[in-house]
Chains A and B, each alone.
Chain A
Amino acid sequence: MLRPNRWLFFGGICLALLFLTLAGLLRPVGDVVRFVTLPIVRPITTVASKFRGSTPALTAADVKILNDRLTALAVDSAKLHALAEENAVLRAQARFLSASGYDSVGGRVINREIHGPRALLLIDRGSRDGLEIGQAVITGAGVFVGRVSTLKERVATVELETDMGSRVAAAISNERKLIGVLEGKGNGATTLTYIPSTEHLARNQLIVTAGTDEKIPGDLALGIVNEIQSRPTDPFLSAAIEPLVRMDQIVLVSVLRPSAFTK
């Protein structure tokens, strides 16, 4: 057995560490460690991400579902293209884009916690890169995946849309009005809730950000309507939304920040 004074010494160390951690006094140590080791961690995660596992093989039923979605999205895409052209002309005339534009900063995922109710990423960008809490995070293809939830000088935590704590205002693609709230349900699932019963949702419809959240622009793709759930007594509908990307496969992201912060 340890002598009593060694137990006191051990207990003292534990209490001191607990106090230092809770008081945030170890934060400068963490900042120094990240400053020194980030150039080494980045190439290690680049190599490690090549072994992140492959997507499962598609069945014939999966292929049919995907083809149906492709057809529905192609129609939406044509409408969006026409609207985009018209929008560009109007914006150029009103000089609106330069006043409300966004730019992005790219980041690499260096740690990931996706299991059960939690869906979080750690990226190698932080407050010194102009990031702020609440900013939208998208993949390279422009799909919204989450928002910045905690911030340090050189790294930031991204709360993915499938995290139990995630809430994003949503709209139907091509329509400007708020239709509900996309809530994370954990285990890779999301649900669109508070849908007015007068709204008509259909399977395979594209859901986008409504643009009412601060720092999250509108029309960023969120997911596809999978199944609509309703009961006669409920004043609101809900719908299972399938994310457009596999959250455990994300390696590179972009954080949207207002252009006013660029130097």
Chain B
Amino acid sequence: MLKNYENSLKNDELSLKLRKSDRTLYATGVGCFGFAIWSLIRLILSVYTEFDGLKAWISNGLEEFIQETAKTANGPLEAEVLKAIYFGSLFVVGLVFLTIFLLALLFQVYIGICACKEATGKKKKYLYILFAFILFAFYSLNSAGYAREISHMIYGLNLDAMGINEMEGTAKLLVDLMDNALDEFASLLLSLTSAVIALELIVNSIKVKVLRKKMAGGIVNEH
């Protein structure tokens, strides 16, 4: 009964490619958005779990600041004034860091949302592709940095293994190195994944634009 309709199913090569690219673009857009949210969660969790450490770091920092200022100052400065200067500076630095962090977050969110909108045919955008390039470059360099760190650690491990009978506390050193290496490896994986997502997003957003132009121009490949 639907014989005539069957012929109008969009199963030409162009349509298939476009559907595949649309879905990949959408998935990478969600991935980008997801990584941004993950960064925020990671920050919150880090502050929450390391809160005591953070407090200790701030108070140690204050002591050091007072001591260093005392050495270099021309005359005695009141502790309250020094405290105010220290915490004021910390606040400014913190604010700058947070601002940069939030901007980076919004950067990724913008890329993700634009990619999803492009994939669903809602809006045509171009700026997000440039931003995605920047993101890809950033994560690629980041990954290279982590890889370098890991290779240093492995190199360090080898040297320690060679002198294992002679050095004290080698076992602890090895365990520390392994722990750090694992941390770095996890960071490398995340960074690589983000780079791949950004790359896939760029490739598929370009593909989608090209294919849509072809379809609009009426170029259909028979299959």
A and B associate: no
Footprint of A on B, CB under 8 Å? none
